[in-house]
Amino acid sequence: MHTKHLITGAERQELARAVAAAESARADLSEVAGDWAVIEGIPCVRLPVAYPWAVQAKAMSPPSANALAAALRWMAGWGSSGTVVTRRQHADHAVFAAAGLQPTLTLSAMVCLDEPAEHTTVPGLDIGPARSAEEFRIAFASFGSDLAALVTPRHLSAPSQRYLVGRFGGAPVACAQIHWTAGTAYVSAVAVLPEFRGLGVGTAISAAATREARSRCSGPVWLHAETHLHPLYRRLGYQVVDDHVQLRTGTVAPALT
C-alpha cells in the first residue's frame, strides 16, 4: 500500500468539497464545443452518446425545488430524463425524493496527494500522449465502440485535457484521460484491451496518468472508482474522501467514469 499522507478529519471534508466543486466544473465543455449550461445555478451537460448518464445535472448540494425542476426540464429537452449527480450525504434529501429521483449508482471519489509508486511499470509497455483521436479510441473502445464521439481531435487539443496511450510494439493497448479543472486534476477513461489485462497494464497507465496530472496541479488528483477497483487505486496512493451518487427516475446502465 502506497500511502504516505493519511487523510483524516477536517482535511477529508475540505478535499471532499474541492472534489465536489471540480465535479460541477466538469460540466463545462466550452473547450470541446459540447452542450452544457448552468440552469438556475446547476451545471448541466449533455454528451453526444445515447446513454442515460450522458445527460447530467451536477447538483452537488441540495438545490431548490424550482432549480431542480428547471434542470430536469433542460435534460428532458435532450430527449432524456437524465441523471442527477450529488454527494452521498445529500442523496436522500427531500428535494430529490419529491422529484421522484432515486439512487442508482454510487462511485467513490478517491484522492491522491502523493506521487504513485515507482514500481508500476510493465516491460515493453510504452506510455505517452495519444498521437491521434483514432489511436486513443482503439483502447477506449473497451467501454463500447459507440463512444467514439467522446474523443475527437478537438478533445486532444484542449489545453485542460491530456490523453495517454499505452503501447506494446507501437500498437495501442491501453488509455487514460486527465482533465485539469477547478484547481484539481481528474483521471478517467482508464481502459485496457481484454487480451492485455492481468499484466499490470491498467496499474501502469493509471500511475502514469497520476504523475502527469500532478505535474500541472498542486491541488488534489482524483478519480471515480467502483468498490472493486479500490484496492488497485489504494496501491497507487489514492484514498476515499467522498461518494458521489447518480440519481434517476428509473434503472440505468453502469456509468463511464
User: What pLDDT score does 250 carry?
Assistant: 61
Q: Which class is domain 114-219? A: alpha beta
Task: Measure CA 27 to chain center.
Answer: 11
Q: What is the pTM of this model?
A: 0.93
- In sign, the C-alpha dihedral spanning 71, 155, 214, 207 is positive
**CA gap 136, 86 in Å, rounded:** 30
Query: What integer is the mean pLDDT of 168-188?
Result: 98
| CATH 3.40.630.30 placement within the chain | 114-219
Q: How many CB atoms lie within 10 A of CB 19?
A: 26
Residue indicated by cell numbers 449527480: 85
**What is the DSSP secondary-structure string of 152-165?**
-HHHHH-TTEEEEE
Percent of the chain with pLDDT over 90: 86
Computed over every residue of the chain, the mean pLDDT equals 93
User: pLDDT by residue (tens digit) across 1-59?
Assistant: 555 788 988 999 999 999 999 999 999 999 998 999 999 999 999 999 999 899 999 99
DSSP 3-state of 133: helix
User: pLDDT by residue (tens digit) across 219-246?
Assistant: 999 999 999 999 999 999 999 999 999 9
User: What pLDDT score does 52 carry?
Assistant: 87
User: What pLDDT score does 17 carry?
Assistant: 97
User: What pLDDT score does 252 carry?
Assistant: 43
Nearest to 55 by CA among 31, 40, 69, 34: 34
Query: What integer is the mean pLDDT of 143-161?
Result: 95
